[in-house]
């Protein structure tokens, strides 16, 4: 409308110029708008891709608190949010395949654990990635720093390398006559190598000799134990999808070899292992839901600091200790968060 109150018909050149500006402005806004904000469009239910590195059964105790916490934030599966679960079943070659599937959908956020992060980062630099469990995300090259991760990745660290020396110390309290300590580790995962180094450093304090049992697949487990030939007096098991999904086999092999074993996660002790000390995985996944909620409300993952564990669990299996002829010091039992009898 002109200042005189009459409508002026724009020229064809003005219309083309206006259309071009609108088109460019819209495209710029589309690029700048994070996928999380896109998820908030009216009528669109946000889609979360959950890449489980093991199986649904193995991770059920962790996915449950994740969904429950999302519900506390108002995200209800099937109603206000959709979660698409994919399970790699401890097969690393599946990570890239699932990552490509999530990019194609596309999902608004991807939740996973650290072994799958490199494949996800290779597949997308745009979709936010949240990891629930990471051994050393900075040392492993996944993020720039804990305070400012940068890029499209954030999550929670387990401080596994920091806890390695504590596990060695706890094991020494129960098995004081250790001369050789075996380390069972999936060396396909770069961050596990950092943990191995920490265990070896801690072992020097107690004058342990270290025997590496390097595995890459389930078929490597039995030969690895057979190679020990009664040389070790205790076992340190690094936590990764392979050891979690094969926990029953590992405990059976350790029991047959009369090896007291320490782990980084409760599940392996419930399955028959001697003891574990580490971050509470259920709590880690619950807090992962908090980070996911922030991203779904528009916060950039690179601006969300990577959080440290706030809850650690010491779990002791007295049935296993008795079967191995071990006496767990009362002082250690008093510190335990859970004792299996």
Is the pLDDT assigned to residue 136 strictly greater than 60?
Answer: yes
**Residue 184 CB partners (closer than 8 Å, separation 6+):** 213, 215, 221, 224, 235, 236, 237, 238, 243, 250
The domain made up of 160-280+312-340 is a member of CATH 3.40.390.10: no
CA atoms of 10 and 2, how far apart (whole Å): 11
Residue 135 phi/psi, 5° resolution?
A: -65, -55
More confident residue, 189 or 60: 60
Q: Dump pLDDT digits (tens) for 31-57.
A: 333 444 444 455 689 999 999 999 999
Strand order in the sheet with 275-279: 209-215, 180-186, 234-237, 261-263, 275-279, 312-317, 338-340
**Where do the DSSP E strands lie in 53-98?**
82-87
CA atoms of 149 and 137, how far apart (whole Å): 9
- Residues 254-265, mean pLDDT to the nearest whole number: 95
Asked if 137 and 306 count as a contact pair (C-beta separation under 8 A), the reply is: yes
3-class SS of residue 155: strand
- Residues 73-80, mean pLDDT to the nearest whole number: 93
Q: Taking Cα atoms as reference points, which of 280, 299, 44, 12 lies closest to residue 156?
A: 280
Band (273; pLDDT cuts 50, 70, 90): very high
- Residues 75-85, mean pLDDT to the nearest whole number: 94
**Residue 234 CB partners (closer than 8 Å, separation 6+):** 171, 175, 178, 181, 182, 259, 260, 261, 262
- Residues 4-30, mean pLDDT to the nearest whole number: 39
pTM: 0.78
Residue count (the chain)? 341
Is the pLDDT assigned to residue 214 strictly greater than 60?
Answer: yes
Tokens of 312: 């650690």
Element housing 312 (H / E): strand 312-317
Report the pLDDT value the prediction gives residue 22, as an integer from 0 to 100: 41
User: Please, what is the end-to-end C-alpha distance for the chain in angstroms?
Assistant: 84
Question: Which region among 9-23, 76-90, 180-194, 250-264 has the lowest average model confidence (pLDDT)?
Answer: 9-23
Q: CA dist 257 to 126, 183, 233, 249, Å?
A: 48, 14, 9, 12
Band (161; pLDDT cuts 50, 70, 90): low
Q: In CATH, which superfamily holds the domain spanning 37-158+282-303?
A: Response regulator (3.40.50.2300)
Q: Taking Cα atoms as reference points, which of 242, 237, 283 lies closest to residue 263?
A: 237
Place of tokens 């994740």: 66
**Do the domains spanning 37-158+282-303 and 160-280+312-340 agree at the CATH topology level?**
yes
User: Can you name the residues that pair with 109 across neighbouring β-strands?
Assistant: 48
3-class SS of residue 170: helix
3-class SS of residue 21: helix
Strand order in the sheet with 47-52: 82-87, 47-52, 109-112, 129-131, 153-155
Asked if 238 and 196 count as a contact pair (C-beta separation under 8 A), the reply is: yes
Band (310; pLDDT cuts 50, 70, 90): confident
Report the pLDDT value the prediction gives residue 43, as an integer from 0 to 100: 64
Q: Dump pLDDT digits (tens) for 116-133.
A: 999 999 999 999 999 998
Q: Dump pLDDT digits (tens) for 229-252.
A: 899 999 999 999 999 999 999 999
DSSP assignment letter at 146: S
Q: Where are the domains of the chain?
A: 37-158+282-303, 160-280+312-340
CA atoms of 307 and 146, how far apart (whole Å): 7
Residue 33, preceding peptide bond in cis (omega within 30° of 0)? no
């Amino acid at each position: 409308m002109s200042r005189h109150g009459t409508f002026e018909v724009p020229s064809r050149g003005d219309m083309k110029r206006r259309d071009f500006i609108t088109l460019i402005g819209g495209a710029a806004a589309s690029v700048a708008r994070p996928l999380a904000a896109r998820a908030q469009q009216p009528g669109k239910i946000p889609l979360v891709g959950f890449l489980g590195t093991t199986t649904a059964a193995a991770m059920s105790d962790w996915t449950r608190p994740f969904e429950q916490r999302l519900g506390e934030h108002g995200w209800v599966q099937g109603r206000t949010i959709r979660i698409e679960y994919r399970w790699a079943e401890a097969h690393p070659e599946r990570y890239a395949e699932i990552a490509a599937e999530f990019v194609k959908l596309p999902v608004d956020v991807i939740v996973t654990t650290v072994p799958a992060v490199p494949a996800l980062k290779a597949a997308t630099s745009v979709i936010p990635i949240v990891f629930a469990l990471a051994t050393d995300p900075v040392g492993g090259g996944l993020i720039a720093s804990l305070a400012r991760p940068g890029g499209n990745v954030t999550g929670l660290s387990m401080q596994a390398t920091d806890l390695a020396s504590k596990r060695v110390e706890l094991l020494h309290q129960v098995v004081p006559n250790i001369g050789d300590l075996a380390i069972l580790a999936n060396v396909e995962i770069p961050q596990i190598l950092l943990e191995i180094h920490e265990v070896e450093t801690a072992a020097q304090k107690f004058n342990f000799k270290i025997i590496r049992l390097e595995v890459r697949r389930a078929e490597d487990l039995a030969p690895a134990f057979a190679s020990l030939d009664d040389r070790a007096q205790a076992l340190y098991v690094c936590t990764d999808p392979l050891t979690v999904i094969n926990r029953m086999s590992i405990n059976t092999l350790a029991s047959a070899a009369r090896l007291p074993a320490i782990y980084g996660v409760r599940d392996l002790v419930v399955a028959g292992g001697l003891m574990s000390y580490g971050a509470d995985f259920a709590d880690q996944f619950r807090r992962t839901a908090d980070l996911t909620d922030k991203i779904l409300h528009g916060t950039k993952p690179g601006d969300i600091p990577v959080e440290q564990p706030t809850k650690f669990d010491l779990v002791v299996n007295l049935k296993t200790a008795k079967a191995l002829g071990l006496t767990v010091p009362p002082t250690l039992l008093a510190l335990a968060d859970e004792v299996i009898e």
